[in-house]
Copies of this chain bind each other. A is one copy, B any other.
Amino acid sequence: MRLSRYFLPTLKETPHEAQIVSHQLMLRAGMIRQASAGIYNWLPLGHAVMQNIEQIVREEQNRAGANELLMPTIQSAELWRQSGRYEDYGKEMLRVRDRHDREMLYGPTNEELITDIFKSGAKSYRDVPALLYQFQWKFRDEVRPRFGVMRGREFLMKDCYSFDADYEGAMAAYRKMFVAYLRTFARMNLKAIPVEAESGPIGGNLSHEFCVLADTGETELFTHRDLIDYDILDRPVDYDTDLRSIVDYWTSHYARTDDTHEQAVFEEQVPADQRVQRRGIEVGHIFYFGTKYSEPLEAYISTREGESVPVHMGSYGIGVSRLVGAIIEAFHDEAGIIWPESVAPFRVGLVNIRSTDSDCRATCDDLHERLQDAGISVLYDDTDESPGAKFAQMDLIGLPWQIVVGPRGVQAGTVELKHRATGERQELSPESALAKLMA
């Protein structure tokens, strides 16, 4: 992609309304623009990152056996009255009346609707277990939306729902999502720690929050070094097997946020040299809530013995738009963002530092074409900005690799390959630079 054809309105100054680093960097890097309070436009660079995150989440949901579907944003109030949550949600719920004066709402979450969908299509034990998920925008009308996409009003969430005949089945689903979440965040280079949590307005009996480590995070996290060191991607997971041992390993170690932390328990359970205290950000939340929705909404199935029972349910959320901010909180420096390769909007930034020079242009055009042919996504700065402005912008937007092409190098047959995360630079022939990126 040529920068001259890409809509990337970066900013030189940090907008003063942005208090946290991810909000500042997303505005400066031309990833988002505020549309109204707590509601954002996702510009091409920000949208590309969000799509990459979404795709990782999708692949791991599918791997765990979940089916993707899509529910509408605007729902009828009716089901919410049946579940008893229509009044509970208070002013956070965006309520609407349509032209026929029917009460509607913008879904803040979807337990009611998915229960109704399951009920309309499932009758018996043959139809469970079922895991259904979607990516859909939600609206929660926060009093004071802030911190950019970290606490916006309109936000993208992956929400998955499980349906099982009994408690044991529901626990198996819960464990699948538990493991799928660990894998999902690990694929984004994030270290996620599951923390036992309160259920809040979703309700229920068992719940874990997933906090990812980030020095600038909002939450204080206390845990055992073993959890920090555990690499879930080290071994393949078979979701058809019992996942109890993995989940038990994680839940048997101390892991709490400042909400529930008890220093005495921490010190009793974790040896001093294993204690870890770090900042974190909540990016996922899983719930088991049994028959809380299936009973009032009458989602019953017949068992093998012919008995009619309400299904046992759980729900499993990941804040997709929030993750964009969380990843920046975890990976940035003074100069800007440092994207993990798996979510980077482009893998390579190609910088022509003298675009009026025909040799530089020929070298860049050729590298651009060969990178694209090799399936390596590249943003090619072909503009006539100054070298300093180009370098600063590339560091700001944080692509994992930069190839810098200048007249002196081109004379000598070399380009500079820079690794954004380490700052390491190498003078190489264009061929060697390509080979390194393809390795």
Contact = CB atoms under 8 A, between A and B. Distances in A.
Interface of A: 5-7, 9, 30, 33, 35-36, 39-44, 46-48, 50, 65, 67-76, 78, 91-92, 94-96, 98-99, 102, 104, 106, 113, 116-117, 120-122, 130, 132, 137, 139, 141, 143, 153-154
Given A6-B67, A96-B94, A73 B154 contact: yes
Nearest to A31: B69
B121 A76 contact: no
Contacts of A30: 121
A408 B50 CA distance: 51
Nearest to A71: B41
Contacts of A6: 67
A70 B96 contact: no
Contacts of A78: 36
Contact of A73 (B7, B73, B92, B132): B73
Given A74-B106, A94-B96, A141-B98, A117 B69 contact: no
B91 A99 contact: yes
B121 A9 contact: yes
Given A9-B121, A74-B39, A98-B141, A68 B91 contact: no
A408 to B, nearest CB: 27
A263 to B, nearest CB: 38
A139 B91 CA distance: 22
Contacts of A50: 70
B7 A69 contact: yes
Contacts of A40: 72
B74 A139 contact: yes
Given A7-B132, A36-B104, 15 more contacts: A7-B69, A7-B122, A9-B122, A35-B71, A36-B74, A41-B70, A42-B70, A42-B71, A47-B69, A73-B73, A73-B137, A73-B154, A92-B99, A96-B106, A137-B137
